[in-house]
Every structure is written in C-alpha cells, then in structure tokens.
Amino acid sequence: MNRRLLLLLPLVGFLVLGAFLYIGLSINPFERDSALMAREFPTFELATLKDPERIVDESLLGGEVTLVNIWAEWCPTCKQEMPQLLDLAERGVRLVGVDYKDAREKGREFLAEFGSPFEVNIFDPEGTLGFDLGVYGVPETFLVDRDGIIRYHHTGYIRPEDVRETILPEVEKWR
C-alpha cells in the first residue's frame, strides 16, 4: 500500500507543477500595474540625447503634467507608435523621451526619420533609469503629474484608440 502511494507522488507533483504553470502562463504581463504608481518619479542624472554635455534630472518633470515615453531605435513597435506620440504633442501634451539602451547616433537617426514629439530626450544607454522605473520592455509610457508623481503607466504600444480612450482622459484628469 505504501509503495503504491510512493508511485503516485511524482504524478501528484507533476499535476501541481502543471497547474502553477497553466495559471502563470495565462497572466497577461501587459495588464500589470507599475510598482511605482502614486510614487515620485525616480531620481536620476543623465545627459540628453541631443547634447551629451547637458545633464538633466527628475526636476525636469515638475510643474507640468508630462508623458514620459521609454523608447529605442531597435524597437519595432516604437516606430509604430510614433504617429500617436506626434498626435499627442500636437494636442498640447508635454512629452519627454527616454532613449533606452541605445547608441546615441542610432537614437538621433531614429528621431530624424520618424519625427520627434519630445520636448527633451533623456539618453539612458545603460538602462539605469529604465531599471529604476521597472521597465521590462519598450515602449512603456508613464504619466507624471505636476508634482513629479507617477499617475498612470501604459505598457507596450500606444494604439490610436489608447490615445482617445485612455491617455488623453488621464492627462486631463491630472492637469
């Protein structure tokens, strides 16, 4: 009798492991909330993409509601979302870009080709600011209120309907 129970033990273990894997794989990572929600934007001191001599910090985000978009030249969906970001800028939404884990020249070429909706682009070649923000893939966008508090986090590509249905209402809510 004990021998039969011992033989069933691997089967029970396999079924438990299978259940955990099934549950874990059914979770959509794009629907997760940022751990930084309702917290201050992380402190940083980084150069801008345009001018390596110009150092900016988190005070750049104070005083005005700002969308901070994490992007990279090597990111294909960043190219797809650029028209939506240009549209947001035309509508008067302040955007600050973070060129994430990129080469400076590649980032500049990307903006020359696709346009730049950003008031300032922060150059983050090592990904330190991205790490502090919990970025696990680009593009990601954070809405920062005038006091420097993160109020909204959009993971992934911003679709045209996201602009209408989510982004603009969130911007208006915090203005």
In a domain, 16, yes or no: no
Q: How many domains in the chain? A: 1
In degrees and rounded to multiples of 5, residue 36 shows phi and psi of: -95, 5
User: In this structure, are residues 96 and 172 in contact, taking their beta carbons and an 8 Å threshold?
Assistant: no
User: In this structure, are residues 67 and 175 in contact, taking their beta carbons and an 8 Å threshold?
Assistant: no
CA gap 57, 44 in Å, rounded: 5
Full domain range(s) for residue 60:
30-174
The two beta strands, 94-100 and 45-47, are: unpaired
pLDDT (tens digit per residue) in 139-154: 999 999 999 999 999 9
In a domain, 25, yes or no: no
- One-letter amino acid at 169 equals P
Assigned token pair, 26: 């059914």
In a domain, 6, yes or no: no
Q: What is the pTM of this model?
A: 0.81
In a domain, 4, yes or no: no
In a domain, 23, yes or no: no
Q: What is the CATH number of the domain that holds 137?
A: 3.40.30.10
In a domain, 45, yes or no: yes
In a domain, 3, yes or no: no
DSSP class of residue 133 equals H
Comparing 11-20, 46-55, 109-118, 129-138, the range with the smallest average pLDDT is 11-20
In a domain, 89, yes or no: yes
Instruction: Give the pLDDT mean for 76-97.
Output: 97
DSSP class of residue 61 equals G
